[in-house]
Amino acid sequence: MKKNAPFECLIHRFHELKITQILRRKRFIVIALAAFSLAACGGSSSSSGSTDPNNKPSSSSSTSSSSASTSSSSSSSSSSSSSSSSSSSSSSSSGASSSSSSSSSSAGSSAMSTAELLVEGLDTVFYSCPERLWPDVAEGYRASQVLLVSAVTEQAWLWNDRNANTVEPTLTPVAFSSLDAEWLNRVNFGVYNNFLTLGLAFNNLAVAPGSTVEDTADASLLFHEGFHFAVDQLSWNLPNVPIRTGIIANDDWRKRYYREELINSIYAYIREEGDLGAVAYWNSQYEIADAAAVLSDYVSLFDIFDGSANYVATRSLSLAKLGCQASDEALVQDMIDRINPEVFGISDFPSDESHILGEVAGVALAKNMQNGWQTAIMENSESLVDVLIGSVDPVVQPENPEIAMAWQTGVEEVNMLIDERLLNIRTAFDNPAEHYFVAVPLIAPGAFGGGEFIHFNLPAFNAFDNDLLLNDLLLALMGPEFEVFVSEDQAIEVDRSPCGGFAHLVLVFNQGELSIEQGALESLRETVSFENVTATAAASNDRWLCTNILPQQ
């Protein structure tokens, strides 16, 4: 495989691993998977990062390295000006001591910034003791390069600059004006200065005096996505099934009800108010309902992929708070205290349940001090819930009519709204001769933002299988050659099309809404714009326009 052709390699790698279906996912994990594959294929730099010496997060006491080191400076990055920081550090011989001392010493001092708190969390969790999170991940975490971006103050910092050639992570200020637009997305997996990089952009820069890393919601997101970034989940024995995350058209309220009961039963087990027989029962009821559904959401892959990441995010917050020297018992108790049962209730998204299930099931497994449970997840295609239940027999439980009725009412209302939103899309596929279908390869450089996934079937169009609609989708194909912007209910994601064997985004146009001159596309619809995008008609159907927007190799 040629190293100078990373995206060609990426496409082949997806097919080799037989996980193209995993692209039916939240936008962040789409990028994460592309990032993993690029790493295996030798990705090249897509941006250059010049530095600005007057642009750095600082506080009266914050870490600049993570081996029992501290640094001090006099300015805050929440203001428009900052001064240089001076630092002194002492390294431990093991390189695995906690850097949480700076977090605790900041209490009562002047307000720290979100960037400073995130750096403290990175120092502890990503560098000092990542082995406390999950087996065999320390190398990946310590090799992670992270770009933190403050959109409000137009500042950016690169943590663990891989070009610095230092043992301990460095914090390098980055000129905001040098950043490509992809790094302004809330989360981005891309290549910066020739290294695969996790990007996090945030707006709430200022935090209250005495705050710690766990006090900012940005930390939970950073730790969740950081697990996807640092851990090669593609090497796990993942189930070969589609992911269904987002809203599901014609959803079955019983599945959603059983999942809430499952979450409640695990939480009761953690609090020693219930047993695993109840957990096994609600899980079996969900599996029966899911198998009988018209459109199964096949969440088993999501439960493993994102459930494990959400558990690790919770553990990371506890580790950042208590430090590397905390006992397993203390970490587990802090994780238990961190679980918020108020989020267990009804929601529009089945994917929310995978996140919560991963958290509560992981905490239950950690509390049991059961050896090797993570390995079972990685090697046996088992979710955290599956491993927790093991061979326990189900014990029949009474249903809760109040919770069941809430799910029935809520899901039926959502189904009606979704049917209305799908009307135009379904009409277009029922009358293809009156429309253009523009296919954009989903595996492409750049970032995704603002997408809402709705899963539905198109039985009248036999080229497709369980498609999904993306609402308010911004597909930012970051490169000088092309850009596509899409909003509103105008794009669907498909596994197969006349334009190729991997996933595409398909934009649907009435004949009068699209101009095609010498192969270049011009949208006459205000909410869709093309720039330097060319298309060729599919050989089998001139209603299909296949864009060729991957970089030339």
Tell me if 439 sits within 8 A of 545, measured CB to CB: yes
Pair of tokens at residue 534: 């060319």
3-state secondary structure string across 33-83: HHHHHHHHHCCCCCCCCCCCCCCCCCCCCECCCCCCCEEECCCCCCCCCCC
**How far is Cα 71 from Cα 148, in angstroms, rounded to an integer?**
19
Q: Is 0.85 topped by the overall pTM?
A: no
**How far is Cα 58 from Cα 75, in angstroms, rounded to an integer?**
6
Ranges of the chain with pLDDT below 50: 1-56, 58-111, 444-450, 460-466, 471-480, 551-553
**How far is Cα 291 from Cα 162, in angstroms, rounded to an integer?**
47
The pLDDT value given to residue 441: 75
- Tell me the per-residue pLDDT of 149-190, one tens digit each, with 9 for 90 and over: 998 889 999 999 999 988 899 999 999 999 988 898 899 999
* Residue whose C-alpha is closest to residue 218's, from 283, 263, 151, 163: 151
The pLDDT value given to residue 535: 82
The pLDDT value given to residue 12: 33
The pLDDT value given to residue 401: 97
